[in-house]
Amino acid sequence: MSRLKLFAFPYAGGSSSIYNGLRPLLDDQIEFIPVELAGRGRRIGEDLYPDLNAAVDDLYKIVSPQIGFSQFAFFGHSMGSLLAHQLAKRLKEELGVSPSHIFFSGRGALQMNIEKEKKYHQMSEQQFKDEVLLLGGTPPEFFQHPELLELFLPLLRNDFRIAETAPSIDGFNKEGVDITVFTGREDDHTEEQIAGWNDYTTGSCEIHTFEGGHFFIHQEMDAIARIINSTIDQLVIK
């Protein structure tokens, strides 16, 4: 049986370990590859990315040698969706290859370039802490350990800076790459931003809405895995 490589990219502040709960739920035909970004996890000693281009350069060096002639797909949540898009664009430009499918999660349609009122990376230290706590995804107990915050907050702020200062996204996927979108009903994306994914590609676009806010994926891993498995089952050549 053929296998498909599924590369997963984390949200701001996240390491590859955020997808540990997803791995055992995926079918055997999926070779799951959560990608570790610089400055976290097993790469914690490495310098943080100065900008989005540097992040994509790094991801290209990691992912491109692993593709070969195999089918592959991308999954990204929030900032990870931006990284998945940019890397897919780079692979098309440099190697002439595209993922068989992209799963975008926790993000409004990239090409709409909606300006957000909140700029997390420009906030004062206390406001930044307060807003991160409101976002969820980070246990409140975490903020009771200054030594952890000293490591984590600069990384998180840098990730927000990369995402919030990214250049305007031009349309990709006019080649017709099929996409699946996951969104939380209580997230701060508008209906227009979510519906905009239909214009992102000339391929198919399926949108799945779950209960919960921005970090709904942690409560919905089972359902997300079922959708991924079903989608990839149709892609893999047996």
- Residue ranges of domains in the chain: 4-114+168-235
**Neighbouring residues of 189: CB distance < 8 A, sequence distance ≥ 6:** 107, 108, 183
Residue 186 DSSP class: T
User: Could you tell me the pLDDT band of residue 79, with boundaries at 50, 70 and 90?
Assistant: very high
* C-alpha dist (Å) from residue 234 to 2, 29, 66, 205, 220: 12, 11, 22, 15, 22
The amino acid present at 129, given as its one-letter code, is: K
pLDDT tens digits, one per residue of 134-160: 776 666 666 677 777 777 888 888 998
Residue with tokens 């349309």: 171
Query: What is the rounded end-to-end Cα distance, in angstroms, of the chain?
Result: 5
Q: Please, which residues have CB within 8 angstroms of residue 82's CB and are 6 or more apart in sequence? A: 52, 76, 107, 110, 163, 166, 169
Residues 105, 110, 91, CA angle at the centre, nearest 5°?
Answer: 85
pLDDT confidence of residue 5: 97
SS3 content of the chain, % helix, strand, coil (to 5): 45, 15, 40
> What percentage of the chain carries pLDDT values higher than 70?
87
What CA–CA distances, in Å, run from 111 to 41, 69, 150, 196, 237?
30, 29, 34, 8, 32
The overall average pLDDT reported for the chain is: 88
Count CB atoms within 10 A of the CB of residue 47: 9
Task: At 215, list the tokens.
Answer: 């970090």
Rounded to whole angstroms, how far apart are CA atoms 102 and 122? 31
Give catalytic residue positions: 78
117 against 197, higher pLDDT = 197
Sign, CA torsion 216/222/223/225? positive
Topology of 4-114+168-235 in CATH? Rossmann fold (3.40.50)
Q: pLDDT confidence of 238, banded at 50, 70, 90?
A: very low
Question: Given a cut of 50, is residue 220 above it in pLDDT?
Answer: yes
Strand partners, 101: 73, 178
Q: What is the pLDDT of residues 15-67, one digit of tens each?
A: 999 999 999 999 999 999 999 999 999 999 999 999 999 999 999 999 999 99
